[in-house]
Amino acid sequence: MNTALTTQVKELLSAPKNCVIIGHKNPDGDAVGSCLGLDLYLKSIGQKSQVVMPNDFPDFLKWLPSTDTIFNFEKQNTQALLAIENADVIFTLDFNSLSRVGEMQATLEKSEAAFVMIDHHQQPDNYALITYSDTTMGSTCEMIFHFITALEGQQHITPQIATLLYTGIMTDTGSFRFPSTTAVTHRVIASLIEHGAKNAEIHQNVYDTNSSSRIKLLGVALDNLVVLEKYHTAYITISQKELDDNNFKKGDTEGFVNYALSVLGIVFAIIFIENKQENIVKISLRSKGDFSVNEFSRTHYNGGGHTNAAGGRSLLSLKDTVTQFTSILPNYKDQL
> Residues interacting with ligand 5GP, by CB under 6 A?
24, 96-97, 100, 121, 284, 303-306, 309-312
Measured between alpha carbons, how far is 88 from 16 in angstroms, rounded to an integer?
Answer: 10
Among 39, 94, 142, 252, interactor with Mn ion by CB under 5 A? 94
The least distance separating Mn ion from the CB of residue 254, rounded to whole angstroms, comes to: 13
Nearer to Mn ion, 94 or 252 (CB): 94
Helical axes 29-44 vs 140-151, angle rounded to 10°: 10
Of all residues in this chain, which one has the CB nearest to ligand 5GP in the complex?
311
CB of 302 to ligand 5GP, least distance (A): 7
Q: Under rule CB under 5 A, which residues in 7-36 are in contact with Mn ion?
A: 30
Phi-psi domain of 105 (left: phi exceeds 0; alpha: psi -120 through 50; beta: other) = alpha
Return the number of the residue (139 or 246) whose C-beta is nearest Mn ion.
139
121 touches which of ligand 5GP, Mn ion, none (CB within 5 to 8 A by kind)?
A: ligand 5GP
Min dist CB 282 to ligand 5GP, Å, is: 7
> Residue 309: which of ligand 5GP, Mn ion, none does it interact with, CB under 5 to 8 A by kind?
ligand 5GP
Residue (37 or 174) nearer to ligand 5GP, CB: 174
**What is the smallest separation between the CB atom of 195 and ligand 5GP, expressed in angstroms?**
26
The nearer residue to Mn ion, 30 or 39, going by C-beta atoms, is: 30
Total residues contacting Mn ion by CB under 5 A comes to 4
CA atoms within 13 A on the CB side of 59: 10
96 binding partner (options ligand 5GP, Mn ion, none; Cβ < 5 to 8 Å by kind): ligand 5GP
Q: 94 or 242: whose CB is closer to Mn ion? A: 94
Three-class secondary structure assignment of the chain: CCHHHHHHHHHHCCCCCEEEEECCCCCCHHHHHHHHHHHHHHHHCCCEEEEEECCCCCHHHCCCCCHHHCEECCCCHHHHHHHHHCCCEEEEECCCCHHHHHHHHHHHHHCCCEEEEEECCCCCCCCCCEEEECCCCCCHHHHHHHHHHHHCCHHHCCHHHHHHHHHHHHHHCCCCCCCCCCHHHHHHHHHHHHCCCCHHHHHHHHHCCCCHHHHHHHHHHHHCCEEEHHHCEEEEEECHHHHHHCCCCCCCCCCHHHHHHCCCCCCEEEEEEEECCCCEEEEEEEECCCCCHHHHHHHHCCCEECCCEEEEEECCCHHHHHHHHHHHHHHHCCCC
Applying CB under 5 A, which of residues 172, 242, 252, 274 lies at the interface with Mn ion? 172
Burial class of residue 80 (count of CB atoms within 10 Å of its CB; 0-12, 13-18, 19+) = buried
Q: Which is nearer to Mn ion, 17 or 306 (CB)?
A: 306
CB of 123 to ligand 5GP, least distance (A): 8
Q: Which is nearer to ligand 5GP, 163 or 173 (CB)?
A: 173
CB of 3 to ligand 5GP, least distance (A): 28
Of the two residues 140 and 246, which places its CB atom closer to Mn ion in the complex? 140
Closest approach, Cβ 45 to ligand 5GP, in A, equals 28
**274 near Mn ion, judged by CB under 5 A:** no
Question: Which does residue 303 touch among ligand 5GP, Mn ion, none (CB within 5 to 8 A, set by kind)?
Answer: ligand 5GP
CB of 82 to ligand 5GP, least distance (A): 27
